[in-house]
Amino acid sequence: MLKGTIKSFCRQRGHGFITPENGTDPIFVHISDIDGEYVPKPGDEVTFRTISMPPKFEKKQACHVVITHLMPGVTHERWDSPLPRESDES
């Protein structure tokens, strides 16, 4: 298992990036590859594995992502909570 930190994650778009602790380039993570009850936030520490991304299999993608330490002082939403509504423009 590799370790890293959530760099960014957008629940509405369904993806984000992890900064590996070894200092390599950020790794893409898809919403379907995140295990656990909380939506990741920047600064959360995670463990993960990597797989090659199609179609050329040249880049890596994170899978089996588990949050091991929630960023202190940040409110975390659960996956079963409703998505925040976009502001209605009148």
Q: How far apart are the first and last CA of the chain?
A: 49
pTM: 0.86
Longest dimension (CA), the chain: 49
Q: Whole-angstrom Cα distance, residue 21 to residue 2?
A: 8
Q: Whole-angstrom Cα distance, residue 83 to residue 24?
A: 32
Strands (E), the chain: 2-10, 15-20, 27-30, 34-35, 45-52, 60-69
Name the pLDDT band for 87 (thresholds 50, 70, 90): very low
8-58 residue pLDDT tens: 999 999 999 999 999 999 999 999 999 999 999 999 999 999 999 888 888
Task: Give the chain's domains with CATH numbers.
Answer: 2-69 (2.40.50.140)
What tokens appear for 17 in the block?
A: 């990036």
Kindly report the average pLDDT of the chain as a whole number: 91
pLDDT of residue 83: 77
